[in-house]
Structure 1
Amino acid sequence: MEFRASVSSPIEWTGAGLAIGLFESELETLAGDLAALNDRLGGALREAIDEAEFKGKPGNTATLRVGSSTPVRKLILIGLGNSEDLPLDRLRQGAAAAAKAARAQKCDRLAIAFPLANQEAAAAAQAITEGVHLSLYRDRRFKSDSEENGKTPKPETIELLPFRNGTTDSAAIAQGIDRGEKIAAGTILARELVAAPANVVTPITMAETAQAIAANPGWELTILEKEDCEKLGMGSFLGVAQASDLPPKFIHLVYKPQGTPRKKLAIVGKGLTFDSGGLNIKAGVGSSIEMMKTDMGGAGATFGAAQAIALLQPDVEVHFISAVTENMISGRAMHPGDILTASNGKTIEVGNTDAEGRLTLADALVYADKLGVEAIVDLATLTGACVVALGDEIAGLWATDETLANGLKAAAAKAGEKLWQMPLEEPYFDKMKSVVADMKNIGGRAGGSITAALFLKQFVKDTPWAHLDVAGPVWSDKDSGLNPAGATGYGVRTLVEWILA
């Protein structure tokens, strides 16, 4: 699919499908360019609004077949709501709706004509580009039917027309399209990593993915094997890994720009390519063991962000880290009650082998904390408790530094990914006290996502740190907005916006 900027106005453009973004206030009396377009199409714009009882509210869409003899064969109306309040994500979601409507109408060519309102042209073009690419993407890798295997969906060409009531700065629009395509590419990589089954994505193939990213200019890659991790005292990570027949891989990707970096950051992603639960096996109704291929959603987002940064090449040094393994069952498996020693010397009593993600993250956070970065962000499909608290679409945020927390919330708002800050309630850590070790890896059902965050906090000294529990939004059971059913690539856009800020 080709996405490009066009200099044609909606009045001049000809082709299969034209998507017009409309505010509620524009519908009663068509004026200016809308009136001219309506005249050119023989009153079709007015007809589409009236016949569909189109109100212009966010999420409203209407489609009208204009006719084969007219300059535009299909007219697609997209509601954008209040003209005085147009967040970027409404443009992103509107573009997604337009693209999906064009596909449903079998338009091989689509033009998008949206108003700019209060947004900058480059940011608006980026959001629209992301909306189109991410909504049209379908993962067909494991389909046998050749007709289902096409990875280039229709429409084949997307043209972004000059913004109807804003700048015609073609350079800014082209810059936004370019950035949007690169961020979408990273998001799609994350989707494909998370969606692939555990017999396809393994610690070994995750290392291979890292090697492919590191082949870009400005990258360094360190892969620590089991013996390397033993030398560093990563007993917490290796305790989880010891039952698997597949070797663990501790992956450290680094992007370094030319010249002095503006800042240095670290991102740590939980990388459980499959989680059986260990000896506390996931069993019974609701255990969702068949979905535990998604337990590397944090690592997927980390690698997806790395892919986007490889394409964008910003002036920021970024470390991407994941301790990748499976949590399996064998005669070598860690037992409930075992005591593990993390690489910072702290001891952990294993209260439950299914609380394994925090054990792998513990050593990864200790490692990241020694890099001299200005901030660390970890992402993990960590707790069902977070899903209970916030649902399937919102990630939980915990942070030791409010400036960092505010930066992530601003990035998430720009990216259109939902975050909600949760408390680091220090007294709750008492629930994790152990008689025989420094701490347990579980703290009971009440406040489970908070105690999990407090556990992770024990492995970062002074570096500002934030934790994102993404257990809910990494997967969608049904098509929704930008996301087709399946892996969403959640977190990539937020991470990239945070890095670039």
Structure 2
Amino acid sequence: MKFHASNLPLLDWSGDALIIGLSEDALPLTGTLAELNSRVSGLLQDLIDDVEFTGKDGATAITRLGGGVGFRKLGLVGLGASNAMTAETLRRAAAAAARLAKKEKSAALGLSMPIVHNDPALTAQALAEGARLALHHDSRFKSEDKNGKATVEHIHLLGLADQESSLQTAQAICDGVILARELVSAPANIVTPETLAQTAQDIAAAHGLELEVLEQAQCEALGMGAYLGVARASDLPPKFIHLTYRPAGTPTRKLAIVGKGLTFDSGGLNIKGAGSGIEMMKIDMGGAAAMLGAAKAIAQLKPDAEVHFISAAAENMISGNAMRPGDILTASNGKTIEVNNTDAEGRLTLADALVFAEKLGVDAIVDLATLTGACIIALGDDIAGLFSENEELAGAIATAAKAAGEKFWRLPMEEKYFDGLKSIVADMKNTGPRPGGSITAALFLKQFVTTTPWVHLDVAGPVWTEKESGYNNPGGTGFGVRTLVQWVLGPS
């Protein structure tokens, strides 16, 4: 699929399908659209009347034309109220248009959309992101691909000339999102700790990044007892991934992104039972997937920040060597943890990863993890939890998320809830009472960051979807990549 940005008027464009974005207050037709309606013998107005098109956000309609114009089909996508239009509105509109064009077997699609916030660059980037992500189709594990490849080969962004840089930015971001989607969607017999390390190696080799992969003995030497306690029951060795992007000049900031990398979570000896969703535990590396996707995008976009990408990758399995409920593990900062639930393993791996990240002397740390079912109960499948005691960093992530079109909700770090994690025999337990489970998980992680500004993102809900929605298709969503990239790039 190739994007073309030009100032060609929509009345002069030729191709297979022209799709126009209309807001609720763009009717009745005036100006160029009234002229277009006249050229197509009133079929545009007929289409609006026949389907009672009002410009409602997400509404679509399309009709076949006769001769007299340079395209065979004419479609509409609703944008909602014009005063509420954002870049996310355009991402979703472009996704709807791209899917409509694919359904209509249109190889060449012309998109005519309003300029959002008087910013042609932002508009072009949003349209390209929405269309490309909507048309991404993962059929790697199907013997017969009934859905077929996308038939849309060329997308022309009309009225948006000289936006090649924005299209390149969109391409890089989509590369990262698609990588994260495919890592999450792949089964655990395909994506292993070794696979994550190899993916990091591929990114490093392609874009000149530095890579360090610590093997088990090296992790033991660093005292990573919490991480290794989780990993020890698996036949697959753990891989501690440290991928580094360095800018050409002196970095303006030094950042760390830590992703939870449990490539499969059986629950350990507290094994997940029927109805627990154990068959979906391939998604438990959604944080690491987003981290690697962000690395791939950032490596291409070349911001002026230095970024460290970290994941303590492992499996949580069952064997005679498995950690037991009641065991005490010692993390690399010397803190001791009584394991009262082996199915609360992600926070154990993150503990040593956070200690490692802080020792790098970074200015800020963000971790992403499919950490708790409690966060899904609180916020549902579409919204991730944001935890931080640092107002500036929490605000920066929230601003980046809004620009990226990803939803987070800030939850409290209620310190008294840590009482539920106190242990008689160790510094802490790895789980607390059932109420406020996502908060106590965040408070557990807090014990492994001392002074560095830190944000914890619980992305358990949004990393996977069962249905087509917006620009996501069923499967891994790549959630978190766009927010991370936007945060590293800084305010636009």
Equivalent residue, structure 2, for 1:118? 117
Greater Cα shift, 298-307 or 44-53? 44-53
Amino acid aligned to 1:409 = A
The equivalent position to 1:333 in structure 2, one of 309, 322, 340, is 322
Which one is further off, 62-71 or 378-387? 62-71
> How many residues in Structure 1 have an aligned counterpart in Structure 2?
490
Runs of 5+ unmatched residues, structure 2: none
Equivalent residue letter for 1:452: A
Q: What is the aligned partner in structure 1 of residue 441 from structure 2?
A: 452
Show the counterpart of 1:25. Answer: 25
Matched, 1:84 2:83: yes
**Counterpart of 2:246 in structure 1: which amino acid?**
K
Pairing partner for 2:223 from 233, 243, 262: 233
Partner residue of 2:196 out of 199, 206, 231: 206
Q: Which moved more, 1:176-185 or 1:67-76?
A: 67-76
Following the alignment from structure 1 to structure 2, what is the Cα–Cα distance between the partners of residues 400 and 377?
Answer: 12
- Match status 1:153 vs 2:150: yes
Following TM superposition, by how much is the alpha carbon of 1:67 offset from its aligned partner in structure 2, in angstroms? 2.9
- Matching of residues 67-216 of structure 1 within 5 Å: 67=66, 70-145=69-144, 152-162=149-159, 168=160, 170-171=161-162, 173-216=163-206
Contact 1:19-1:112 at 8 Å conserved across structures: yes
Offset of residue 218 of structure 1 = 4.1
Deviations 1:461-501 (A, max 9, x none): 10000000000000001111111111100000010001101
Q: Residue 252 of structure 2 aligns with which residue?
A: 262
- Report if aligned partners of 2:116, 2:122 keep a CA contact under 8 Å in 1: no
Q: Which segment is superposed worse, 116-125 or 205-214?
A: 116-125
Structure 2: which amino acid aligns with 1:110?
A: L
- Structure 1 contact 84–117 (Cα < 8 Å) conserved: no
Q: Alignment partner for residue 378 of structure 2, among 389, 392, 397?
A: 389
Q: Aligned residues: percent identity?
A: 61
Whole-angstrom CA distance in 1 between matches of 2:268 and 2:454 = 29
Alpha-carbon separation, structure 2, partners of 1:159 and 1:26: 22
Residue 117 of structure 1 deviates from its aligned partner by: 4.2
Please list the CA deviations of residues 30-68 of structure 1 after superposition, one character each: whole Å capped at 9, or x if unmatched.
212112222222222212111111000111111111136
How far the C-alpha of 1:444 sits from its partner, in A, is 1.4
Which of 351, 361, 367 is 1:378 aligned to? 367
Does the 8 Å CA contact 2:230/2:349 hold for their aligned counterparts?
A: yes
Structure 1 runs of 4+ aligned residues shifted over 4 Å read none
Say whether the 8 Å CA contact 1:407–1:498 is kept in structure 2.
yes
Tell me the amino acid that sits aligned with residue 150 of structure 2. P
CA distance in 1, matches of 2:284, 2:68: 53
| 1:84 CA drift (Å) | 2.1
Cα 1:87–1:238 shift into 2, 3 Å: same
The normalised TM-score by structure 1 is 0.96
Q: Distance in 1 between the 2:205 and 2:79 partners?
A: 42
After superposing the two structures, state which structure 1 stretch, 42-51 or 482-491, moved more.
Answer: 42-51
SS of equivalent to 1:321: strand
Task: Note the alpha carbon deviations across 1:200-231, whole angstroms, 9 max, x for none.
Answer: 00011111100001113441100000000000
Q: Secondary structure at the match of 1:24?
A: coil
Task: Give the aligned CA root-mean-square deviation in angstroms.
Answer: 1.1
SS in 2 for 1:216: helix
**Matched residue, 2:63:** 64
Partner of 2:243: 253
Instruction: State the partner residue of 2:210.
Output: 220
Q: Which residue of 2 aligns with 1:165?
A: none
Determine the C-alpha separation between the residues in 2 that align with 1:396 and 1:147: 37
Using the TM superposition, name which of 138-147 and 333-342 deviates more: 138-147
Asked if 1 retains the 8 angstrom alpha-carbon contact of 2:372 and 2:460, the reply is yes
Alignment TM-score, normalising by the size of structure 2: 0.98
d(CA) in 2 for partners of 1:442 and 1:76? Answer: 53
Pairwise CA distance, 1:21 = 0.7
Query: Which moved further from structure 2: 427-436 or 405-414?
Result: 405-414
SS in 2 for 1:75: strand
Whole-angstrom CA distance in 2 between matches of 1:231 and 1:119 = 55
Question: Which sits farther off after the overlay, 48-57 or 288-297?
Answer: 48-57
Paired with 1:488 and 1:409, the residues of 2 have a C-alpha distance of 19
